[in-house]
Structures are given as structure tokens and as C-alpha cells.
Amino acid sequence: MSSAPPGPDRAVATPTGESGLALTRRARRTYRLLAERYPDARCELDFADPYQLLVATVLSAQTTDVRVNGVTPTLFARYPDARSLAAADRAEVEAIVQPTGFFRAKTDSLLKLAADLVERFDGTVPGRLRDLVTLPGVGRKTGNVVLGDAFDVPGITVDTHVGRLVRRFGWTAEEDPVKVEHAVGALFPRREWTRLSHVLIFHGRRTCHARNPACGACPVARLCPSYGTGETDPARAAALVRTAPRG
């Protein structure tokens, strides 16, 4: 008897009661339509190398990318690499990152992160998830961001937007980010994972909001089992759509 996991054409339990094959087809069609809506979907954090992206991603917790991008030019000019950041004066770092919120905790994370990079990886950001998640303040979400955008290693970033959308789409009912990552990853070719994450994040920030999503202006409304959660009138829904993330 085969012990292989069920594929998309085999009988599996899905949140919507669809067959595995039907769910996979609907998920991929949804993604194609969203990719057409957001052809410029990308990481919205400004960075020049893996170190900068790692630091920016840590700073992005509980704030916006716009605010992070507002402080990182000063931060990276003062501390251009892990070694300089590890030796930084705490008060100076706190003053720079204060606009991102929770600046004392974030400063603590950055200093510990930089010190660990210097001590264990000679100041270089590792290019493997199993190494990244051993760093202070770095989990799978941050690790997958860095791998996907700095190292071109496919990964699914399960942030609040991605988690919300994949449950609304009925791709998974899982709440745990790791389980969500694996469930969604099974629906798409690995090469699509990073871009899929960006497309979903763009849609979550611009149209499928946590509160009052713009259902009537959504390009995948007919494929979404949660249609009607938000505003369905086309004109009123269009007014809810954002063209860029908020600061």
C-alpha cells in the first residue's frame, strides 16, 4: 500500500467541501487573476542586501513598511553591516527606530541579532531557513521574507494579510502559521511561493481589508466563498480600494 500523501486529485478534506483537485484549480485561478491585478507586487521594504532586509523585516513588526522605510536610510548609513550594529550605542539605535513603535524591544532584538550574526555567521546573513530561525527575533515568516527576496529561495510568508486571505478564500482553515504555510504551499508550484506571498499581501493591503473588505471591487469575487463579508456595491467598494499602503 502506498504511503504517499494525498495529491490534489485524491480524496482530501477541504474547508469548502471541494475535492482536492477542485480546490487546487480554484486557488490557482484566483492567484492568476490577482497577479494580473497586481503585476508590480513585490516586497515593499526598501533594502540593498540580505542584512538590510533582515533588519527592516524585524523593524516591520506591528508597524507599516512606510514607517520602516522612513527610518532605515538613517539606520543603515550609521550601521551599514552587522558588525557596526552589534557595537552600536543602544540609545542611538533607539532614537533612530523610535518612529516604528516598540522601539526599546526592537532595539534589543536588533542588537542581539547583530551580535549573533557576528559571533555565529561571521557577520553574514545565512541563506538557509534552518539557520535563520535560530537568530534572535527571527521566525519562519521573517526567514521566508529574507530567503525569497534576498536569496531568491521560494518561500511562503504567512503574515496577517496572507493568513486572513487564504482562510477567506477557503484554501485552508488552519490558524497556525506553519500549518497555513504547508497547506497553501501544497496548492502551488514551489517556484510561485514568493510571488504568491507578495500578491496576497498586496491584495490584503489594498482591497481585502481586515475590516470591511471591498468585495464589490474584487477581481476574484466569484471565486471567493467569503464574498459578501464586506461592501458589495461596486461604487462604494471601489472607494475602499487603496492604491498604496498607508503610512
Q: Determine the Cα–Cα distance for residues 76 and 74; give it in Å rounded to an integer.
A: 6
Task: Give me the helices (H) in the chain, please.
Answer: 20-37, 50-59, 65-78, 82-86, 90-97, 103-121, 129-132, 140-150, 160-168, 177-185, 193-206, 234-240
Burial class (CB in 10 A: 0-12, 13-18, 19+), 215: buried
Q: Looking at this protein, which amino acid is placed at residue 225? A: P
- In sequence order, the 6+-apart residues with CB closer than 8 A to the CB of 190 are 154
Are 139 and 109 contacting, i.e. CB atoms less than 8 angstroms apart?
A: no
Rounded to whole angstroms, the Cα distance separating 185 from 236 reads: 34
Query: Is 159 among the catalytic positions?
Result: yes
Catalytic residue among 65, 106, 141, 149: 141
* Amino acid at the residue 47: F
CA-based R_g, the chain, Å: 20
DSSP of 206-235: HTS-SSS--GGG-TTGGG-TTTTSS--SHH
Neighbours of 121 (CB within 10 A): 15
Catalytic entry in 65, 106, 149, 159: 159
**Residue positions annotated with a catalytic role:** 141, 159
